[in-house]
Structure 1
C-alpha cells in the first residue's frame, strides 16, 4: 500500500471497533496483553494518542507536544471507551485529510518530526496493536486486513526483514513489536518504529523514500509525489528498484537509502539523491543523485548534496563519502566539487570524488 491517510485510519478504527465490541460484555479490568495497563487504560491511551496526533498537526507543533491531555470520564465502561477511540480516530482522519502537503509536526522518534502520512501510519499502528493487546487478554481474535499490516511494516518498520514464507504481515508485525514469535528469528524485546527523515536544504526538503514508494517508482509510478515535468529521471527509478531489492533481502537500513528532492514552495519533486547503502567497514558511504531536466541549472543538486553529506557526517560510523561520475558528466562533477568533494584517483571507468570528516 503506497499511501497512508484518512482512508487507512478509517479502515483501522472500523476493525478495532468491531473487534472490541465483540468483547464489550467482558471484564476489561485485567492487564491488556503484555502491557501493565488494564483494557480500559489501554483504550484511554488509544483515544488520547489519536487526539494528540491530530493536535500536533493542527497546532503545527515543531518543538514538542501540544500541552493537552485527554482522559476517559470516571466510570466509563467498554462501550464508552470504544466510542472514545472512534472519536479520536475521526479527529485524526479529518486532520490528515485537510492538512496541506509538506506540513510536518513534532514527534520524538527518530528525527523529531513526521508528516501527515507518518501520523496516519502511527495512528493505524496504535489502533492495530493496542486492539490486539486488549482482545488477546479477552481471548478474541484481532487479526486486521493484511494490507493494513503490510502498509504499517513498509512505512514504519523498513528495518524489519519482510514476511518469511508461510507467515503473514500480521505475524511479522506482532514479532517486530515484541508480541509474537517467528521461526528462525530471535524474540524482540526492544523496538521502535521509524518515521521517514526530512532534511532541510535551502529551497528543498530531502524526503526519505519508503520501500512502498520505492517499489511504486521502480514500476513506473510517481512514488506518491508530484513531479516537475510529470515524471522522475530514469536514474531515480533505477535507484528506487535497488532500495526495494535491499528491503526484500532484509538488508535495507533506514536513513541510508533514497531521498526525494522536493521544492517546498510548490511541493514538486525535482529529483532524487541518496546512498547506495549503509557505511562500509571503512566508514565510507557512496552517494548518487539526479534531477529532472526542467530543474537543472538552479543549484538544487549542490545544495542538497551539501545537506545530505552534512547529515551523514553526524553519524560516528561515517568517515568519508564517495561520489562516482562518468567522465563525460561534467554537470555531476560540478555538483560534487560545489558541495566540497575533491577529486580522487579514478575508479575505472568512473571519475571519483570524496569528502572526508574534518
Structure 2
C-alpha cells in the first residue's frame, strides 16, 4: 500500500476486481461515480492477467478521510528490462478538481522510483483531455511527442 497525505493507494484484489466488473455496489465503500467504465476495463484486464507483482498492477485510490474508493491508478505491469513502466489513472467525476489524481500520481511515481527498478515512467492521454495533461505536468511528467490520437508523457527517476 502507498500512502500520501490524503490518500491510500491499495492493490485491487481479485474479489474487488470481480465486484468492480459486476458493478456490485452493495456493501462497497465506493464513491458515487466509482467504478467508471475505465475502472471496469482495468478490472477485466486484472482478472484475465493477474499481476505477478501487486504493486505494479492496478491500485484503488481511497480517500483517507472518508474511506471511499474515488478512482484507480496503477502500472500496466512490472518494469521492463530497461526499467520502464507504463501507467494510467482516473478518478470518479465527483472527485475531480480536488487534486486527488495529481497526489495519487505523485505518490505512485515516488514509490516506483524508490524501488530502484524503475528508471522511466510513461503515459498517454487524448488531445482533448486537458485535465489529464495538467495532472501529469503537475506530477512532473513532460510531453515528449504526439500523434493524431494521443499526447505522450514521461518522467525519469530523480538523480541520486
For 1:206, what is the secondary structure of its paired residue?
Answer: strand
- CA RMSD, Structure 1 to Structure 2 (Å): 1.8
Alignment of 1:24-39 (within 5 A): none
Q: CA–CA distance in 1 between the matches of 2:145 and 2:26?
A: 36
2:126 match: 326
Please tell me whether residue 317 in structure 1 is matched to residue 117 in structure 2.
yes
Higher-strand-fraction structure? 2
Choose between structure 1 and 2 for higher RCO, CA contacts under 8 A separated by at least 6 residues. Answer: 2
Q: What does 1:1-358 correspond to in 2, within 5 Å?
A: 198-222=1-25, 225-229=28-32, 231-247=34-50, 252-346=52-146, 349-358=149-158
Unaligned runs of 5+ in 1: 1-197
Count of aligned residue pairs for this structure pair: 158
Pair 1:338–1:238, CA change in 2 (3 A): same
TM-score (norm 2): 0.91
Q: CA–CA distance in 1 between the matches of 2:145 and 2:104? A: 24
Displacement, 1:349?
A: 2.4
More helix by share: 1
When Rg is computed on C-alpha atoms for both structures, the one with the higher figure is 1
Tell me the residue number matched to 1:88: none
Quote the offset at 1:347 in angstroms: 5.5
Could you tell me which runs of 5 or more consecutive residues in structure 2 were left unpaired when the two chains were aligned.
none
- The alignment partner of 1:271 has SS state of strand
TM-score when scaled to structure 1? 0.42
Q: Residues 18 and 47 of structure 2 are in contact (CA less than 8 Å); yes or no, is this contact kept in structure 1?
A: yes
3-state DSSP of counterpart to 1:255 = helix
